[in-house]
Structure 1
Amino acid sequence: MSADRSSGGGVSRRQLFGVLGAGAAGAVVGAAGGAGVALAATGGGTTDASGAAASVYPYFGAHQAGIVTPAQDRLHFAAFDVADALDREGLIGLLTEWTDAAARLSQGLEVAEGGAVGGSDYSPPTDTGEALGLPASGLTITFGFGPGLFTDESGADRFGLSARRPAMLEPLPRFQGDALVPEMSGGDLCIQACADDPQVAVHAIRNLSRIAFGRASLRWSQLGFGRTSSTSTTQATPRNLFGFKDGTANVKAEETAIVDDHVWVHASDEPAWLAGGSYLVARRIRMIIENWDRVQLGEQEMLVGRSKGEGAPLSGGTEFTEPDFDKTGATDAPLIDADAHVRLAHPTSNGGARMLRRGYNFVDGNDSLGRLDAGLFFLSFQRSPQQFIDVQTSLARDGLNEYLKHVGSAIFAVPGGVAEGEFVGQALFA
């Protein structure tokens, strides 16, 4: 099926104020590693003498950008609820317009021809303008489909898609430490915008939200800074807000066989329309910073299972030395505690399960008690949601849980890449 790709997507003043009134919450959340590009894994990228800010990644390809792409420094993530009045053709129209806009934005262009200042003086600009003069800054835009797109809470099949819903696309089970806030969870659609300039990422979400007026409203969003994982061997391992290196053992784009086995959905998997895509898990994890800051260094390292400086496993070696969980100390106790995070999260504790993580730090001001509202916005991509479920279940006895509270949760099916002339997720509607 097709839609009119030249549609202006106009919205009346009544629709505009109605959508603004329906919009939900937002949030706030810098340490960049290298700006290298794994060409074979990402489909390529370009830079110039100005470095990371000039990076341009192709939008079209076998997989959506923003998954194995070298993790950028900034994030704006948004989840949307589809309007009750939207029908199947309207949904296709929205995805078509989002695709056109994302393809332009990722190349450093304005969201549409005419842009912020080139249109009529008597019409709203087609671009909001805050990114005028800024380069692409490595912007990638990744789209995902939530369970509610296939059947709503009442079980209604609004768009004729229920028979094509992935069997594994179900809300995640309740885990240890969950204190989920509905307003920070779920969503019918999601957009992940990553860039090396926060204004570029925010500009992307703002304009894609604007395109959706009257058709989908913002349910919740999250700003992120200081990536908490590396997705390329060219990048140094960053630190989280507990001060520890994070994501040392993360899947890297250059590990193409591991990426293929653990990240991408295969054509032989069900459903076939999701081939080349992945499953995205988003978790907003509040860190109890004030309590953690009063913990002795030795106990902090015991809880994590790594040294705070080098990031080496407590069994010895350097950061990238494989942990030895059988090695004991002078008292014959394991050097890496039985409840240490690194042990419980390790593939050997989870049937070999691995995920590609793209998390970010966030700081959203303070709460009513004067404590920092800060933590980790966890994002992971995996071939099956069960990979995440297995690891998170294993972490039920993680000693770090005393200092963590999971307040937001969502899961999305991320379609495969987009070919020129198509819209994102087109195979779902075939």
Structure 2
Amino acid sequence: MGQRMSRRSLFGLGAAGAAVLGAGAVASRGMLEEEPALVAASSTSSAFPFYGEHQAGIVTPAQDRLHFVAFDVITDKRAELVDLLQEWTAAAARLTQGKDAGTFGAVGGAPEAAPDDTGEALGLPPSGLTLTIGFGPSLFDDRFGIASKRPAALADLPKFPGEQLVPEISGGDICVQACAHDPQVAVHAIRNLARIGFGKVSVRWSQLGFGRTSSTSRAQATPRNLFGFKDGTNNMKLEDADLLRDQLWASGEDGSAWMAGGSYMVTRKIRMTIETWDRSSLQEQEQIFGRDKGEGAPLGQKKEFDPVDFATKGPDGQTAIRDDSHVKLAHPSSNGGMHLLRRGYNFVDGSDGLGRLDAGLFFIAYQRDPRKQFVPVQMRLARHDALNEYIKHVSSGLFACPPGVRDAGDYWGRALFEN
């Protein structure tokens, strides 16, 4: 990968000032002022900058593939953890720009030594790779002297009605989200970070995803989930500078100075009962979501982005959008104006012993404070959403994602470990 970097020097490690995704996509002035380090890849093979005020992979226009991993830290030495974060940061800065994970790469080192890079991405472009790190509540125990720095917003999630969480695929001390347009590039990045972390961290669980289920930029079309419905029509977008400042990025005023410019990530693996859903009538499916399946318009409206009107009547004289519909319960107007920035992916993990698809949505959402945003929204959905008949939450994660890495002298989470 490294030998091809010179032809892409335009997309260097440093910050840049404009964002363009594909022909004709123009970033607003407000977005540029808010996200000076965000450069959208001009093609699916190009690179996003690594350094900046915020981590890439949050408002970055969502790529098509995901490899997500949660690690347990197996060393109890603070210095070793800090060293690992420094090594990971240096590797991430290289990987996201299309270089090998280490200085000597996959084939440039001594023949009798293990290579610096595993090699399966040799010859591949960066493919829009972003790497985003987060720290789980369990990292803030008494091992590393950071218990007093646990943010109040990183409070453990409550138990939600109906969830059937599997502990082995939930939680974790540290997570890394790798997003790219090429699945091999994303897998390569996680594989090399895990290799670098040998003896200091172990993989707790991981998840592959395909087919983004949200748009994080207005330049992107709204994708569909495995139920066949457009997902994330009213998602926060990178162009919404004021909304992002208010509801996405943590502030020093929130009580944890080291998290200023960061965000809080919630993950939920949601298994869908695909076969039962596929036998449901179109009318029932649309009533459950509150949108039509073809256009994605709110029921009672004609176009996807028409305003949702919960007072609109249907042909039977009843409100077109039911009170137990997904769109009604999740809408900001039903949740005190709270928004989430969703960045989820479809998954298919084969089939179970009865021949049913093990498939669904790997939900990822970023926000300024999960206690005020994700928790009340999910509690309302868990109690009342008609969609619950067809889904099951089996995994959960909560992570504090620190601000971006400013330059080559910085590293992931540096402010957390400073005295």
* Counterparts of 2:235 and 2:243, CA distance in 1: 11
SS across alignment from 1:168: helix
Change (3 A) 1:237 1:42: farther
Runs of 4+ in 1 over 3 A off after TM superposition: 33-39
Per-residue CA distance 1:336-378 (angstroms, 9 max, x = gap):
0110100000001111110100000000000111100000000
What is residue 412 of structure 1 aligned with on the other side?
399
SS across alignment from 1:102: helix
SS across alignment from 2:68: strand
Per-residue CA distance 1:296-349 (angstroms, 9 max, x = gap):
001100000000000000021310011100112243311001101000000011
Change (3 A) 1:344 1:229: same
Structure 2 portions without partners, runs of 5+: 1-20
CA contact (8 A) 2:49 2:97 kept: yes
The one-letter code sitting in structure 2 at the alignment partner of 1:377 is F
* Counterparts of 2:202 and 2:41, CA distance in 1: 35
* Counterparts of 2:204 and 2:65, CA distance in 1: 20
What is residue 276 of structure 2 aligned with on the other side?
291
What is residue 81 of structure 2 aligned with on the other side?
91
CA contact (8 A) 2:38 2:60 kept: no
1:393 deviation in Å? 1.1
1:276 deviation in Å? 0.1
| 1:324 paired residue among 298, 309, 314 | 309
CA contact (8 A) 2:64 2:211 kept: yes
What is residue 392 of structure 1 aligned with on the other side?
378
The 5 Å alignment of 1:117-156 reads 117-151=107-141
* Counterparts of 1:190 and 1:250, CA distance in 2: 23
What is residue 52 of structure 1 aligned with on the other side?
44
SS across alignment from 2:44: strand
TM-score by length of 2: 0.91
SS across alignment from 2:286: helix
* Counterparts of 1:148 and 1:371, CA distance in 2: 34
1:76 deviation in Å? 0.3
Change (3 A) 1:111 1:82: same
| 1:43 paired residue among 30, 37, 56 | 37
The 5 Å alignment of 1:25-424 reads 38=27, 40=32, 41=35, 43-45=37-39, 47=41, 51-53=43-45, 55-83=46-74, 85-151=75-141, 157-386=142-371, 387-395=373-381, 396-420=383-407, 421-424=409-412
Per-residue CA distance 1:104-138 (angstroms, 9 max, x = gap):
00000000111100001100101000000000000
1:86 deviation in Å? 2.9
SS across alignment from 1:268: helix
The one-letter code sitting in structure 2 at the alignment partner of 1:71 is A
1:399 deviation in Å? 0.4
- State the aligned residue count: 389
Per-residue CA distance 1:32-76 (angstroms, 9 max, x = gap):
x9685857236233656xx212x2111110000000000000000
CA contact (8 A) 1:74 1:195 kept: yes
Per-residue CA distance 1:171-219 (angstroms, 9 max, x = gap):
2111133100011100000000000000000000000000110000000
* Counterparts of 2:150 and 2:315, CA distance in 1: 55
What is residue 425 of structure 1 aligned with on the other side?
413
* Counterparts of 1:44 and 1:248, CA distance in 2: 22
Root mean square deviation, CA, Å: 1.4
Change (3 A) 1:233 1:404: same
SS across alignment from 2:254: coil
Among all aligned residue pairs of Structure 1 and Structure 2, give the percentage whose two residues are the same amino acid. Answer: 61
The one-letter code sitting in structure 1 at the alignment partner of 2:401 is V
* Counterparts of 1:310 and 1:99, CA distance in 2: 42
* Counterparts of 2:318 and 2:161, CA distance in 1: 26
* Counterparts of 2:388 and 2:255, CA distance in 1: 34
The one-letter code sitting in structure 2 at the alignment partner of 1:418 is V
CA contact (8 A) 1:34 1:235 kept: no
* Counterparts of 1:46 and 1:114, CA distance in 2: 29
The one-letter code sitting in structure 2 at the alignment partner of 1:389 is V
CA contact (8 A) 1:263 1:381 kept: yes
The one-letter code sitting in structure 2 at the alignment partner of 1:426 is R
* Counterparts of 1:60 and 1:145, CA distance in 2: 19
* Counterparts of 1:291 and 1:307, CA distance in 2: 19
The one-letter code sitting in structure 2 at the alignment partner of 1:339 is D
What is residue 10 of structure 2 aligned with on the other side?
none
CA contact (8 A) 1:353 1:390 kept: no
